[in-house]
């Protein structure tokens, strides 16, 4: 199989490689200069003094931030538990053959992919209570995140469905499986496996969306950091500490996505683009009569 990078981009020659190396060195020097300038400025203003960081090592401050971290993880987990299954169902509906259902799913996905999450949070905060729908602050934050991210996840899963060869579905139907059984037992397992790394990465977006908790005064990590900064008058230090926590969490999620992608590639014998390599395993459908796996050769 032709390497995708070589199809999309020409291999850089010696002159181009020298220009790339020179640009890399220049960029590195500029970044180091900016970092040094920032360090000198912070040191001169006393922001790096040990006394200004000590409050964040105390038990009360740690407990305060842990409360915010728990609130952030709770919103992220609740949103993921609803948005991922809902997004999968929307993807199946949009990729299906029933026009009314496809139109409804398509309309939902296109609308909520276009609406900013912050705007939807304001709708739940100010508009809906006026018509009698007044949720708790947790759900005023979580429901908008679910509505937006389920539409995004639907497109991710639909991309996985579209990436599958039609022969998978045709072979399953030829074995006598119903359309619903084909989707559940043949199409979705393979499609989700293809996009698992992207779905894990989407958790980063869910985590970032939880920072909108300040709008509804929900005690998530960013809101707690803001309260901590107001109480200690150490704005810079508070947000550096919280930024470090977000970086650690997001880095862990990114590494998890990379690990999953590597594991899936090793198990399926697939190239980075998702196509099976020569001699790699082929997909299987399940014989509905004998409940035995039946080989489905890729077309």
Structure tokens at 130: 């006026």
DSSP category for residue 123: I
Select from 190, 187, 204 the least CA-distant residue to 153. Answer: 204
Residue with token string 């949009």: 94
Confidence of residue 278 (pLDDT cuts 50, 70, 90): very low
Select from 204, 199, 211 the least CA-distant residue to 152. Answer: 199
Rounded to an integer, the average pLDDT of 257-263 is 80
Confidence of residue 281 (pLDDT cuts 50, 70, 90): very low
259 touches 128 (CB < 8 A)? no
Strand boundaries in the chain, DSSP class E: 283-286, 293-296
Q: What is the pLDDT of residue 268?
A: 62
Domains and their CATH numbers in the chain: 71-296 (1.10.3720.10)
Rounded to an integer, the average pLDDT of 94-110 is 90
Q: What is the pLDDT of residue 150?
A: 95
Distances (CA, A) of 237 to 31, 32, 208: 22, 22, 20
Q: What is the pLDDT of residue 179?
A: 76
Q: Per residue in 140-193, pLDDT tens?
A: 999 999 999 999 999 999 988 888 887 777 788 788 887 778 887 888 888 888
Confidence of residue 203 (pLDDT cuts 50, 70, 90): confident
Structure tokens at 230: 């107001």
Higher-scoring residue by pLDDT: 296, 265: 265
Distances (CA, A) of 31 to 41, 158, 285: 15, 40, 53
Q: Per residue in 110-133, pLDDT tens?
A: 999 999 999 999 999 999 998 989
CA 75 to chain CA mean position, Å = 14
Q: What is the pLDDT of residue 10?
A: 67
The answer, yes or no, to whether residue 290 has pLDDT greater than 80, is no
Q: Per residue in 33-54, pLDDT tens?
A: 999 998 888 888 888 888 888 8
Confidence of residue 259 (pLDDT cuts 50, 70, 90): confident
Phi/psi at 106 (5° precision) = -65, -45
């Amino acid at each position: 199989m032709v390497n995708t990078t070589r199809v999309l981009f020409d291999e850089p020659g010696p002159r181009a490689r020298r220009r790339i190396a020179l640009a890399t060195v220049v960029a590195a020097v500029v970044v180091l200069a900016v970092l040094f300038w920032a360090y000198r400025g912070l040191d001169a203003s006393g922001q790096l003094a040990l006394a200004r960081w000590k409050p964040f090592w105390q038990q009360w401050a740690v407990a305060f931030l842990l409360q915010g971290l728990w609130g952030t993880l709770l919103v992220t987990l609740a949103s993921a538990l609803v948005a991922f299954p809902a997004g999968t169902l929307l993807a199946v509906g949009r990729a299906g053959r029933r026009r009314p259902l496809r139109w409804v799913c398509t309309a939902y996905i296109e609308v909520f992919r276009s609406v900013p999450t912050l705007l939807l949070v304001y709708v739940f905060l100010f508009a809906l209570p006026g018509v009698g729908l007044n949720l708790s602050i947790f759900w005023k934050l979580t429901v908008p995140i679910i509505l937006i991210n389920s539409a995004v996840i639907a497109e991710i899963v639909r991309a996985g469905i579209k990436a599958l060869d039609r022969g998978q579905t045709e072979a399953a139907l030829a074995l006598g499986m119903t359309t619903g059984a084909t989707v559940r037992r043949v199409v979705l397992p393979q499609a989700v496996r293809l996009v698992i790394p992207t779905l894990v990465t989407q958790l980063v977006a869910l985590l970032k969306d939880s920072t909108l908790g300040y709008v509804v005064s929900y005690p998530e990590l960013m809101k707690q950091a803001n309260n901590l900064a107001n109480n200690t008058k150490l704005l810079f230090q508070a947000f550096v500490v919280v930024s470090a926590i977000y970086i650690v969490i997001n880095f862990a999620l990114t590494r998890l996505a990379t690990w999953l992608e590597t594991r899936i590639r090793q198990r399926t014998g697939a190239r980075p683009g998702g196509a099976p390599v020569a001699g790699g395993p082929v997909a299987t459908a399940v014989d509905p009569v004998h409940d035995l796996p039946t080989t489905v050769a890729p077309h």
